Structure 1
Amino acid sequence: MIRTYEEALSWIHGRLRFGVKPGLIRMRWMLKELGNPERAITAVHIAGTNGKGSTVTYLRNMVEAAGYEVGTFTSPYIESFNERISINGEPISDAEMVKLVNEVKPVVEKLEGEDLGPATEFEVITVMAFLYFGKIRPLDLVIFETGLGGRYDSTNVVSPILTMITNIGFDHMAILGSTVEQIAGEKAGIIKHEVPLITTVEQDEAKKVIEQEVRAKQAPSYWFEKDFTFDDYQALENGEQFSLRTPFGKLEKLQLSMMGYHQVKNASLAAVGALYMKDHGDFSITDDHIRQGLQKSQWMARFEKVRTNPTIIIDGAHNEEGVKSLVDTLRLHYETKRIHILFTCLNDKESTGMIRSLEEDADTITFTSFDFPRAEKASTLYNHAASPNKYMNEDWKQAIASCKERLKDEDDILIITGSLYFIGEVRKYVKR
């Protein structure tokens, strides 16, 4: 019997020793033992390389604005492990986490007597989410974000009313494949028979793969630029504005509080999802609900301003596509500012391309590291950089202090970016 929250977390994290094992056979076995709670959930399933978390947030807030209770399952967490299982944006309580662990622990241990292999940490937390939303706390809608890929991701046992794919980029290539086609094939694995798909995927080679899956599954599909698009784009001082054209109607001058041109695509994807649910489902969602939800939406560590005087912004750009979006946002909103960047990443990431992109707009760039098994050394990142104004410090707190000394006036801003595991630590530290 697990009695405390600390014991519960320790047991969950203890599953990390089993690594990453894509596949659904263990998930289906455990869920059957628990009475298949996933079958009782009304769900939306979202995959993609970047933008999943923001898209989840936009959709949640729009549906929530219409008066519904919405659950979310996301990863990784930023500040609290409980964030991964949330209701209306609020993480479940420590007591609920303990209760969930005690309910799934006997099943997880029973699995170890089978020949299927032990459950991983992600499989365990996914089973907990299905149990929570399927039996303990049923809701109007639950939005599931894939953890890795799609086809063999632990969340892919869900039977959703709608699927979404945000984009395709190069990340987790050792598992998902080294080409756009291979990665797209893994993401397209979430597409279900006759379940509609909405996507903002843009590469032609990725589209071909997804189109093949759509035809095979006889799934209705809605594509960015073909079936829906946005125009009248305007970068605002603290957000973005755009108009959205969809098969379900037009929405003029929508406003976002999250910054970045890429956020307009994420918001458009989520808004089309909400409009589809209104048009084809049992959800009473109005245009005003969509407006309110989009404008209200914030997502931790996504171009988040955590300090002013001096300005400090954190952003979890942990792959090349994420870094490109960060750089584009800086050019849109801070073109006249002096940009100081603090960066670190994991050693299984393609760091050179990220560094090259960041150097293009950085007046100074500093490299650091943090306490994590796969964290890259600051010295390694430093050696990849070509900037004449590069610095390094293996201690990230000292690195932040050094960077702040370079902020002389309001034209200087500090961008702290890289691994989301790192950004979670930084966010708590800087906000204190």
Structure 2
Amino acid sequence: MGVNLSEEHPLPFTSYKDAAEWINSLIPFGIRPGLDRIVAMMEYFGNPQRRLKFIHVAGTNGKGSSCAFLSSTLRECGYDVGMFTSPYITKFTNRFQFNGKDIPEDTLLSLANRISPVVREVAASELGSPTMFEVSTALAILYFAEVCYPDVIVWETGLGGRMDVTNLVTPIVSLITNVGMDHTDILGDSLEDIAREKAGIIKPGVPVVSCVSQPSAAAVLKETAAAKGSTLYLLGEQFDYERKPFSGGTQRIRFKGPFREIDIELSMLGEHQCTNASGTMMVLEVLRQYMAFVMEDEHVHAGFKQTFWAGRLEQVSEQPRIVLDGAHNPEGAAALVSSLPEAFSYRKLILMMGMLANKHHREYLEHILPIVDTLILTEPDIHKKMDADALYHLINEMRPHAAKPDLEVIVERDWKSALALLQSRTEREDLGVVTGTLYMISDVRATLLHHTDSEKGW
């Protein structure tokens, strides 16, 4: 594919804002599984991804936190680390990080101007227009391969695995955090189908780590790994962890791997983070044992303890006490329900919720409703939002068998008004929680932390 940067195609963008708006303008092209367009774009640039070392991370929940654990610990051990994740919480540049810092705006502008003519050419072909996520992935590869040169890149899938754009790369190790019922409209409506899509990131001879717990999903991973000649390290079989009593605002686990045992302290809250940390530690052990990565225990300890990931059981306000958690599917709801009473003491739980329309709301609510005293239903500021009245009707249908007898349910479509209501209703001994889609978590977080330059998107 040849692209002519002639006078007919002057540099289209003169500011970061222009470049980011152009990339996000591709969102209407949607999620289009398949690698043809990204392959075409990368071939034009000489396949720079082949020069890079990736840790590929897939899974239904825990991808972001696991990426954060990996990035923090590898940096603490002295490595230069790139990280590509989605969605972002504060700003579009959050997606592309080098050593914990966002891509500079002028660098993103420069790379967008390089990619733009290639996108035009692919769009004019039978392949059709690249999507926002495809262009973002191409930009990430160019950033890492030609600008900042990290030693290793923590590389998060966008959706699924097998047909996800990020599956263009061959990693040095893969991590599949877990498998749950999410994005069933695209990935399939059984655990086995979804596991098969996630297992698509397993490459021939490349070791893979997983914390998948369901026997049927684990069987799919075992079968795929065996067929690809890849060593599988599965939680509960090749490695495990023992959770220590919760104390002092942090939690501790004893990681038990095939090569050694080690104690780890976490600032991230919730038992699900113990599982995420355990999977991450197994990945690091593979790198240490087989790929000559040097990791001193003191640096490993520091890396895990200082890991932070926005919007995951994150307390953002003291008076009233408000916690943000981007639980948006049944597995996330289960983790939230088990974590809240352990991490916080409270009299009443006032919960504000805004969801997307394509989620398993009934299963989600079966976890959430039994612990909530006041539920404020709202709508995220995005076209794919779930109608708050429809959620209200579903809750009324479930109320007799799933909710507290005196549960109060309030519908406030405007999320800003809903947030004000949450703040006014959460008294000193109570806990206010905002949960649901990360689109809304992003808006609420920016408001409460006064981030006036916050952006939002997938």
Please indicate the TM-score interval, normalised by the length of the shorter structure.
over 0.9
Letter of the 1:280 partner, please give it: Y
Instruction: Assess if the C-alpha contact under 8 Å between 1:68 and 1:140 holds in 2.
Output: yes
Query: What is the Cα deviation at residue 336 of structure 1?
Result: 4.9
Letter of the 1:31 partner, please give it: M
Q: Which residues in structure 2 correspond to 1:52-131 (within 5 Å)?
A: 52-131=63-142
Return the TM-score normalized by structure 2: 0.92
Query: What is the Cα deviation at residue 282 of structure 1?
Result: 3.0
Partner of 1:134: 145
C-alpha change, 1:4 and 1:384, in structure 2 (3 Å) is: same
In structure 1, how many angstroms separate the alpha carbons of the residues matched to 2:381 and 2:373?
A: 27
Partner of 2:411: 392
Instruction: Assess if the C-alpha contact under 8 Å between 2:122 and 2:128 holds in 1.
Output: yes
Partner of 1:374: 384
Partner of 2:421: 402
Query: What is the Cα deviation at residue 332 of structure 1?
Result: 2.0
In structure 1, how many angstroms separate the alpha carbons of the residues matched to 2:24 and 2:368?
A: 33
Alignment match of 2:314 (pick from 289, 296, 304): 304
Partner of 1:313: 323
Q: Secondary structure at the match of 1:236?
A: coil
Query: What is the Cα deviation at residue 131 of structure 1?
Result: 1.1
Count of residue correspondences = 430
Letter of the 1:397 partner, please give it: K
Q: Secondary structure at the match of 1:241?
A: strand
Partner of 1:430: 448
Pairwise CA RMSD of aligned residues? 1.2
Q: Secondary structure at the match of 2:246?
A: strand
Instruction: Assess if the C-alpha contact under 8 Å between 1:5 and 1:97 holds in 2.
Output: yes
Query: What is the Cα deviation at residue 232 of structure 1?
Result: 4.2
Alignment match of 2:436 (pick from 418, 422, 429): 418
Letter of the 1:296 partner, please give it: Q
Residue 331 (structure 1) aligned with residue 350 (structure 2): no
Letter of the 1:276 partner, please give it: V
Identity %: 36
Letter of the 1:372 partner, please give it: I
Q: Secondary structure at the match of 1:242?
A: strand
Instruction: Assess if the C-alpha contact under 8 Å between 1:340 and 1:414 holds in 2.
Output: yes
Query: What is the Cα deviation at residue 237 of structure 1?
Result: 4.1
* Unaligned segments of structure 1, at least 5 residues: none
Return the TM-score normalized by structure 1: 0.97
Q: Secondary structure at the match of 1:168?
A: coil
Partner of 1:282: 292
* Unaligned segments of structure 2, at least 5 residues: 1-10, 451-458
Instruction: Assess if the C-alpha contact under 8 Å between 2:98 and 2:148 holds in 1.
Output: no
Query: What is the Cα deviation at residue 370 of structure 1?
Result: 2.6
In structure 2, how many angstroms separate the alpha carbons of the residues matched to 1:236 and 1:327?
A: 19
Instruction: Assess if the C-alpha contact under 8 Å between 1:24 and 1:152 holds in 2.
Output: yes
Moved over 4 A (4+): none
Partner of 2:59: 48
Query: What is the Cα deviation at residue 239 of structure 1?
Result: 2.7
Partner of 2:177: 166
Q: Which moved more, 1:282-291 or 1:332-341?
A: 332-341
In structure 2, how many angstroms separate the alpha carbons of the residues matched to 1:288 and 1:200?
A: 25
Partner of 1:20: 31
Alignment match of 2:372 (pick from 356, 362, 367): 362
In structure 2, how many angstroms separate the alpha carbons of the residues matched to 1:343 and 1:107?
A: 41
Letter of the 1:425 partner, please give it: D
Alignment match of 2:220 (pick from 200, 209, 213): 209
Letter of the 1:147 partner, please give it: G
Q: Provide, for residues 323-367 of structure 1, a one-character-per-residue CA deviation record: whole Å limited to 9, x for no partner.
A: 111111013223654211000100111222222321111111110
In structure 2, how many angstroms separate the alpha carbons of the residues matched to 1:273 and 1:167?
A: 14
Partner of 1:33: 44
Query: What is the Cα deviation at residue 136 of structure 1?
Result: 2.1
Instruction: Assess if the C-alpha contact under 8 Å between 1:275 and 1:285 holds in 2.
Output: no
Letter of the 2:149 partner, please give it: P
